[in-house]
Amino acid sequence: MLFASSWWRSLFHPVAALAAAGVLSAGMAWAQVQPAAPSPKAAETGPADVKPAESKPVEATKPSESAIKPHDVLRSPSDPVVGIVEGHLIYLSDVGNAVPQLPENLRGLPFDTLFPVVLDRLIDHQALVAMARRQHLDDDPQVKRDIEAGINRILEGALLAREAAPKASEDKIQARYNRQYLGKPATEETRARHILVSTEEEAKKLIAELNKGADFPTLAKQKSKDPDAENGGDLGFFRRDQVWPEFADVAFALQPGQVSQTPLHNEFGWHIIKVEERRILAPPIYSEVHDAIRQALLQEAVQHVIDQARSQLSIRKFNVDGSPLGAVPDITPAQPLVKSQEVPPKP
C-alpha cells in the first residue's frame, strides 16, 4: 500500500485521512478477487534533474525535461494529462481510478475536493519512484526479488479474476441459493453439550454425578478431552445431518435439560450428551446467505483453478535440506535447485 505513513494524517482538511489510508493499493486478498487493473499509462525517460512536486497540476505544455511525445500530451480531452513527474504522465483517469480505492467514507466527497489531494499523492508516489530509480535501487538484489514477487502476485490475481471471479456471479449465487434453500422445509436444530472420556467406566461415574446435581459445563471443563471442553462442552446448534447418526439419534431424542443415561461410543471415546434447547429454523432468505454463498463459490472456483494449474505443470517438492521429497522425475530444472548467495552490486 502506498503512502501509508502516519505523518500524512495531518496534511489535508477535510480529507486528512486520504494518504494515511493509502490512495493506491499494491494488491488485494484472494477472498475479494477483482478484475485486473488496466496497465498504467506511462512514458518514462532516463534520469534527469528532479523538480520538487508542486501542489497544483503541472501544465502539460511545459515538460521542460521530459521526452514526451506530442500525441501523449494532445490526448483526448476527456482524459487530459494532469501531472508530469520526470516524463511520467499522470492522466485524469489515473486520479479517477484511485478514488474507488479510498476508504468508503471518503469516496462520496465531491471530485473537486478529492482531485487536488489525490493528484498530489500520485505526484508524491512518482517522485519517490523517480528518486529510487535515480539511485539505482531497481538494481538491488532484494528489490529485484520484491519486484518479481509483486509481479507474481499481480499475475496470480489476474488469473483468478479471469477464471474464478465469473464463477461467483449473481446468477450463479442465485442458482446455488435456489438449489440449497428455495422451497425447502423448516429444519429442526438442537443445541447440546457433551463430555468425551476414554473409558465407559469413567463415563458412567460422570453420569451418576450429573444425576446427583453436578454442573454439566463444570464437569466438561474438568474431565472432557474434547477441544470443546473449555466451552463447557457446548457444541452450539446443529442439524441432524451435521453429526454422526448415533449421536444425532440420542441428541434429537432427548428433551431440553435431559442428560443421556447410557454412554455413547465411537472411535474417539465415550460420550455423554446433554440437550440445552431445540428450535425450528426456516430456510434463510437470499440476502442473509448471499455473501456466504459468494464466498463458497469463490473458494471452490479458486481451488479448481489451482488444481487445474497443478495438473498441467511439472512440480517437484524437496525436504528442508534440499534433498528430493518422494519420487524424482528425470528432468533438468530450468533454474538451480539451491540458490547461490547473490552478490550485491558494487557502488
Shared domain for 110 and 45, answered yes or no, is: yes
> What pLDDT score was predicted for residue 22?
40
Shared domain for 99 and 216, answered yes or no, is: no
> What pLDDT score was predicted for residue 325?
83
pLDDT above 90 covers a percentage of the chain that reads 67
> What pLDDT score was predicted for residue 345?
46
Shared domain for 17 and 138, answered yes or no, is: yes
Q: How far apart are CA 208 and CA 274, in angstroms?
A: 14
Shared domain for 238 and 301, answered yes or no, is: no
Q: Does 340 map to a domain?
A: no
pLDDT band at residue 107 under the 50/70/90 scheme? confident
> What pLDDT score was predicted for residue 11?
32
12-23 pLDDT tens trace: 333 334 333 443
Count Cβ atoms below 10 Å from residue 136 Cβ, excluding itself. Answer: 12
Q: Does 153 map to a domain?
A: no
What total number of domains does the chain contain? 3
Shared domain for 171 and 308, answered yes or no, is: yes
Q: Does 84 map to a domain?
A: yes
> What pLDDT score was predicted for residue 23?
34
Shared domain for 75 and 131, answered yes or no, is: yes
Q: Does 88 map to a domain?
A: yes
Q: Does 299 map to a domain?
A: yes
DSSP secondary structure of 153-205:
HHHHHHHHHHHTGGGG-HHHHHHHHHHHTTTPPPEEEEEEEEEEES-HHHHHH
Mean pLDDT for the stretch of residues 138-148 = 96
pLDDT band at residue 65 under the 50/70/90 scheme? very low
Q: Give the CATH number for residue 196.
A: 3.10.50.40
Q: Does 234 map to a domain?
A: yes
Q: Does 228 map to a domain?
A: yes
Shared domain for 257 and 197, answered yes or no, is: yes
Mean pLDDT for the stretch of residues 150-172 = 97
Mean pLDDT of the chain: 80
pTM for the whole thing? 0.55
- Indicate if the pLDDT at residue 29 is higher than 90: no
How many contiguous H segments (helices) and E segments (strands) does the chain have?
Answer: 11, 6
3-class SS at 27?
A: coil
> What pLDDT score was predicted for residue 324?
86
Shared domain for 212 and 247, answered yes or no, is: yes
pLDDT band at residue 77 under the 50/70/90 scheme? low
Contact (Cβ atoms closer than 8 angstroms) between residue 325 and residue 208: no
Q: Does 338 map to a domain?
A: no
Task: Select the more confidently predicted residue: 15 or 177.
Answer: 177
Shared domain for 252 and 296, answered yes or no, is: no
Task: Select the more confidently predicted residue: 52 or 111.
Answer: 111
Burial of 106 (0-12, 13-18, 19+ CB in 10 A): middle
> What pLDDT score was predicted for residue 185?
92
pLDDT band at residue 95 under the 50/70/90 scheme? very high
Query: What is the DSSP code (8-state) at residue 318?
Result: B
Shared domain for 218 and 258, answered yes or no, is: yes
Which domain range does residue 304 map to?
A: 167-178+285-312
Shared domain for 120 and 39, answered yes or no, is: yes
Task: Select the more confidently predicted residue: 123 or 4.
Answer: 123
Task: Select the more confidently predicted residue: 37 or 324.
Answer: 324
Mean pLDDT for the stretch of residues 102-129 = 93
188-222 pLDDT tens trace: 999 999 999 999 999 999 999 999 999 999 999 99
246-282 pLDDT tens trace: 999 999 999 999 999 999 999 999 999 999 999 999 9
> What pLDDT score was predicted for residue 85?
96
Shared domain for 136 and 174, answered yes or no, is: no
pLDDT band at residue 84 under the 50/70/90 scheme? very high
42-62 pLDDT tens trace: 333 343 343 444 444 434 434
> What pLDDT score was predicted for residue 328?
54
Q: How far apart are CA 293 and CA 344, in angstroms?
A: 49
From 43-47, 150-154, 171-175, 242-246, the region with the lowest mean pLDDT: 43-47
